[in-house]
Structure 1
C-alpha cells in the first residue's frame, strides 16, 4: 500500500483533513517501526503497526513530553516510545544486527 492511500485512509479514520500532519506522522512512525525491527523496508503486516502508531501519535498531540497527567480527578499515564502492544506485535519482524570489531 502506498503512502498516499494510507494517509488518505488515516484522514478518514481520524476525521481530519490535515494530510500534511498525517504524512509527517506516517514518516516518523515508519522510521520508528523500521528502527525497532532493524529493517530497511516493511515486510508482512508491518504496515498495520505503522498505521496504529500514527493513530497513537495523533491522539497524543498536546501531551508530548508528559509521562502522566491529572485533570479534574481523572488521571492518565502515557508510555514513552513505542506502545508495548505494538512492540509485542513487531517482535516477530525483528532481525538480528551484526556488529563487527
Structure 2
C-alpha cells in the first residue's frame, strides 16, 4: 500500500492511519460478502479500497470541487470495478 501511495517503506509516520484504512476496507468487504475472512484473491482489492479511503480523507461527502478554473468530481461509494470484484465473492447471509 505504501508503495502504491508513494510513501517510503521506512516512513512509519502514517502507519496507524494506513492500518485503520485497511481495517475499514476489510470490514466493508466482509459486510458486503457475508464472509468471515477475506479470500486471498480479494487482498489486493482490500488495498485498492483502502487507498481510495486514504485519498478521500478530508473531502468526505464532497461530490465536486471547483477552484481556479479547475473542476473535479468524485465518485460516490465504492467504484463499480472494485464492487464487481467484491460481489463475485458474495454469499447469502447466515
Higher relative contact order (CA 8 A, sep 6+): 2
TM band (smaller chain): 0.7 to 0.9
Give the CA deviation at 1:57: 1.2
Give the structure 2 partner of residue 3 of structure 1: none
TM-score, length-normalised on structure 2? 0.82
TM-score, length-normalised on structure 1? 0.77
C-alpha RMSD of matched pairs (Å): 1.6
Of Structure 1 and Structure 2, the greater helix share is in: 1
Give the unaligned 5+ runs of structure 1: 1-9
Aligned counterparts of 1:89 and 1:74: Cα–Cα separation in 2 = 32
1:78 aligns with 2:74: yes
Give the unaligned 5+ runs of structure 2: none
Aligned counterparts of 1:77 and 1:36: Cα–Cα separation in 2 = 25
Aligned ranges for residues 20-35 of structure 1 at < 5 Å?
20-35=16-31
Give the CA deviation at 1:58: 1.4
After TM superposition, which residue ranges in structure 1, 4 or more long, deviate above 6 angstroms? none
Aligned ranges for residues 22-101 of structure 1 at < 5 Å?
22-98=18-94
Give the CA deviation at 1:30: 0.6
Give the CA deviation at 1:12: 3.1
